[in-house]
Structure 1
Amino acid sequence: MMTPFLNRVEAGRLLAEALCASLPDLTSRKDVIVLALPRGGVPLGLEVARALNAPLDLMLVRKLGVPGHRELAMGAIASGARVLNQDVIRSCGISDEDLEAVAREEQLELERRARRYRGDKPWPELKDRCVILVDDGIATGATMEVAARAVRQQQPTLLVLAVPVAPPSSLGRFTPLVDRIVCLMTPESFWAIGAWYRDFSQLNDEQVITMMREAEQWAGGDCG
């Protein structure tokens, strides 16, 4: 029986161990960068970056929620990339005007978070680098898919998807998008990401900013 993670920090440490075991050259590579999806992916990304002695940055992605049912994703956007779920769009009768209105709103939120979390720091160059995309789990996969497509456009030498938990049906969509997948648990009966954590408390902007500052200050890796 699969045991839930205590919290995101524990999940991040276990994920770092799995990455070290799966790709043992990660700790010796100088081109590695860890990109975490805020907010929930940042505590895990911090643990992975620390273990790999690699820099941590953010991959900002926003879900496009169906109007009136915002938890239902009709797609997702990132800087320079968009993924749409045409089945949801058709079944919910979403017009082009409604879709674009939601996309504009979420684009503004992307820009707000970029300013809030990163200030005026330039975005990292990903071309010819080893990029590890980290989140606290995958449900439908729409958010991570747009993140992977956005990174792939920048031509990394290696793109690794690293998450603690995801249903097998969602992981399958990433096989053509990434070079490696590291996932600790793939339960058939998935329910929701939060069901696989004892503590799945939501994070706020201040916590994300604090963790990103910590990532800039720590030194040394602890695996390998």
Structure 2
Amino acid sequence: MTTPYPDREDAGQVLADRLAGLADRPDVTVLGLVRGGVPVARVVAERLHAPLDVLVVRKLGMPMAPEVAFGALGPNGVRVLNELVAARLDPGEVAEVQRHEQAELERRERRYRAGRPPLDLTGRTAVIVDDGLATGATARAAVQVARQLGARRVVVAVPVGAEEAYEMLVAEADEVVCVQRPAGFGSVSSYYEDFHEVSDDEVTDLLAAIG
């Protein structure tokens, strides 16, 4: 029986219990996927006594089917491409999608980093936290970006997710922690009583509170 979480903070407490083995390790960085993953990640970081940061990832979606990713962009100029999918597109289409997503990534990076140094995961265990997995495409892109940023080990941690997305990520990440994997998943929002849209201001406030 799937039990809804009251809110993202409660989900973070439950998730932190599952990640207790990573507590007090000097190599761990907790990364919230913006924006909904950051409230969950803030709780996890506090419980693990680990630094909190954000990972801004933008999927590069097919022009006629944006939910289908042909790649992803990350900070510090990181670009991950699925060459087999990207090869089906006109180079001009690829460039246009990338230009749009790069602009949004840069906007979010400026807002969330607020003068902090660029994200560097060299030699670290990156714990990527989101509020749930539907298709898993963003988390998959985040794993690839974290590796490009130098992470030695990548853990994906979520309170709830679809079985198909979980299985996909098991093949990508070093470890996947998914507390609930209900059948007939639907949407992430249906597993929360409070699933308000997380604003830019909320993200920056959460980062300031722990940092």
Q: Distance in 2 between matches of 1:42 and 1:85?
A: 30
Cα shift at 1:145: 0.9
Q: Which amino acid aligns with 2:142?
A: A
Residue in 2 aligned with 1:114? 109
CA contact (8 A) 1:32 1:130 kept: yes
Q: Distance in 1 between matches of 2:113 and 2:7?
A: 25
Cα shift at 1:214: 0.4
Residue in 1 aligned with 2:79? 81
- 1:123 and 2:107 matched: no
Q: Secondary structure of 2:107's match?
A: helix
Residue in 1 aligned with 2:59? 63
How is 1:80-159 mapped onto 2 (pairs within 5 angstroms)?
A: 80-84=78-82, 95-159=90-154
Q: Distance in 1 between matches of 2:91 and 2:69?
A: 12
- Percent sequence identity over aligned pairs: 38
Deviations 1:54-95 (A, max 9, x none): 11001101233454765x3434332313254967x89xx854
Cα shift at 1:177: 2.3
TM-score (norm 1): 0.84
Residue in 1 aligned with 2:44? 48
Q: Distance in 1 between matches of 2:182 and 2:36?
A: 20
Residue in 2 aligned with 1:15? 15
CA contact (8 A) 2:112 2:204 kept: yes
Deviations 1:77-135 (A, max 9, x none): 32313254967x89xx8544223212210111100111011122112431221210101
**Runs of at least 5 residues in structure 1 that lack an aligned partner in the other structure:** 217-224
Residue in 1 aligned with 2:204? 209
TM-score (norm 2): 0.89
* Alignment CA distance shift 1:100-1:155 (3 Å): same
* Alignment CA distance shift 1:103-1:48 (3 Å): same
Aligned length: 208
Q: Secondary structure of 1:137's match?
A: coil
Residue in 2 aligned with 1:28? 24
User: 34-43 or 170-179: which moved more?
Assistant: 170-179
Q: Distance in 2 between matches of 1:37 and 1:106?
A: 16
CA contact (8 A) 2:25 2:50 kept: no
CA contact (8 A) 1:41 1:136 kept: yes
**Runs of at least 5 residues in structure 2 that lack an aligned partner in the other structure:** none
* Alignment CA distance shift 1:194-1:96 (3 Å): farther
* Alignment CA distance shift 1:106-1:186 (3 Å): same
User: 155-164 or 31-40: which moved more?
Assistant: 155-164
Q: Secondary structure of 1:178's match?
A: coil
- 1:173 and 2:179 matched: no
Q: Distance in 1 between matches of 2:150 and 2:172?
A: 12
Deviations 1:138-183 (A, max 9, x none): 1111111111011112343322110111111111222232211111
Cα shift at 1:28: 3.0
CA contact (8 A) 1:81 1:146 kept: no
Query: Higher relative contact order by CA 8 Å / sep ≥ 6: 1 or 2?
Result: 1
